Amino acid sequence: MTKRIKRLRQVEVTMQIKDEAFIRPPTEQQRSWLLNSALGEFVYDLQMLDELAKRFVPGAGHLRTEDRTQAVLTDEEIMEDWQIPLMQEMAIAVAQSHGDILEIGFGRGVSSAMIQDEGVRSHTIVECNDSIIERFNQWRKDYTDREFTMMHGLWQDTLPSLGQFDGVFFHTYPLNEDDLLQQIGKSVTFADHFFAHAAAHLKEGGVFTYLSNEIDSLSRTHQRLLFEHFSRIDMQVVKELKVPEDVKDAWWSDSMVVVVATK
Contacts of 140 (CB under 8 A, 6+ apart): 148
On the question of pLDDT at 135 being above 90, the answer is yes
* Position 178 confidence tier, pLDDT thresholds 50, 70, 90: low
For the stretch 57-69, pLDDT in tens is 999 876 665 666 7
* φ, ψ (nearest 5 deg) of residue 169: -115, 120
Cα 1 to the center of its chain, rounded Å: 39
Q: What residues does CATH 3.40.50.150 cover in the chain? A: 75-262
Residue with more model confidence, 72 or 8: 8
Give which of 248, 256, 257, 253 is closest to 53, Cα–Cα.
253
Other beta carbons within 10 angstroms of residue 212's beta carbon come to 22
* Position 187 confidence tier, pLDDT thresholds 50, 70, 90: confident
pLDDT mean across residues, the chain: 92
Q: What confidence score (pLDDT) does residue 21 get?
A: 96
The C-alpha atoms of residue 130 and residue 157 are separated, in whole angstroms, by: 15
Q: What confidence score (pLDDT) does residue 65 get?
A: 58
For the stretch 192-210, pLDDT in tens is 999 999 999 999 999 999 9
For the stretch 77-102, pLDDT in tens is 889 999 999 999 999 999 999 999 99
Other beta carbons within 10 angstroms of residue 99's beta carbon come to 16
On the question of pLDDT at 31 being above 80, the answer is yes
Domain 75-262: which CATH number of 3.40.50.150, 2.30.30.100, 2.40.50.100, 3.40.50.2300: 3.40.50.150
